[in-house]
Amino acid sequence: GNSVTQMEGPVTLSEEAFLTINCTYTATGYPSLFWYVQYPGEGLQLLLKATKADDKGSNKGFEATYRKETTSFHLEKGSVQVSDSAVYFCALSPYGGATNKLIFGTGTLLAVQP
Amino acid sequence: DAGVTQSPTHLIKTRGQQVTLRCSPKSGHDTVSWYQQALGQGPQFIFQYYEEEERQRGNFPDRFSGHQFPNYSSELNVNALLLGDSALYLCASSPTIYPQETQYFGPGTRLLVL
């Protein structure tokens, strides 16, 4: 079946540190991959996406590359800020499915300290 | 341009009651999906509506039902509420049903069942 596995949090970093949040997936075919972010008390916001192998999604300094050979879509940022503190969700939309439903990982809490 | 809107923002019900949650999709979007996010977990897909029909359903009991109106807005109904139904209910919309399309989320309705 289709599933997403994320590294468990919380991830605690100092401001300007390098961030990596690992995400691996299991899926048939070639799913689309997404990172969503959830700030405290809010809904989900799309952060970035990639729809085919070797695509790199990027937004607001965050990047993730669709790696088919390792079935991974790790999120990275070179220098985090306090305002990046949130829960980050990796998700996939199965290729060939009837709809664009999303399958999410359990989320990774990022806490950035000044 | 308004994004996805949901009402109410918060709701408290008791076991056995019924609840209706509402969602208006982003302008230009005709597909609405509903997700349940339990505390500390990733969202779980409930079902998706397109052209006023339920197109796909996740692993949720028949107590969960929905409807889509001609203006593309949608309702989620939950009957015979259980304590375990306490969660954040998220609505997402997209311009079409196809797997490549990104879903945009509303702020959610937080339901507490006592």
User: Which pLDDT value is given to residue B50?
Assistant: 92
Average of per-residue pLDDT across B48-52: 93
Instruction: Please list the residues that pair with B94 across neighbouring strands.
Output: B31
Which residue from A34, A38, A89, A85 is spatially nearest to A64, judged by alpha carbons?
A: A34
Contacts of A94 in chain B (CB under 8 A): 99
Rounded to an integer, the average pLDDT of B78-103 is: 90
In chain B, residues with a C-beta closer than 8 Å to the C-beta of A105 are 42
Question: In Å, how far is A48's CA from the nearest CA of chain B?
Answer: 10
* Amino acid in the structure at residue B9: T
CB B23 within 8 A of CB B103: no
pLDDT at A41 over 90: no
How many Å apart are CA B30 and CA B70, to the nearest integer?
9
Q: What is the pLDDT of residues B15-38, one digit of tens each?
A: 999 999 999 999 999 999 999 999
Question: Per-residue pLDDT for B83 more than 90?
Answer: yes
pLDDT class of A96 with cuts at 50, 70, 90 = low
Q: Mean pLDDT across chain B, nearest whole number?
A: 94
Which pLDDT score, from 0 to 100, does residue A28 have?
Answer: 81
Cross-chain residue pair B90–A44, CB shorter than 8 Å: yes
Question: Would you say residue B1 has pLDDT above 70?
Answer: no
Distance, in angstroms, between B26 CA and closest chain A CA?
Answer: 13
pLDDT band at residue B47 using 50, 70 and 90 as cut-offs? very high
The region, left, alpha or beta by phi > 0 then psi within -120 to 50, assigned to residue A64 is beta
Q: Which residues of A touch B57 (CB under 8 A)?
A: none
DSSP-derived 3-state class of residue B85? helix
Range among A6-10, B39-43, B107-111 rated most confident: B107-111
Cα-Cα-Cα-Cα torsion A41, B29, A50, A21, nearest 10 degrees, comes to: 10
Q: Give the A:B interface size as CB pairs under 8 Å.
A: 78
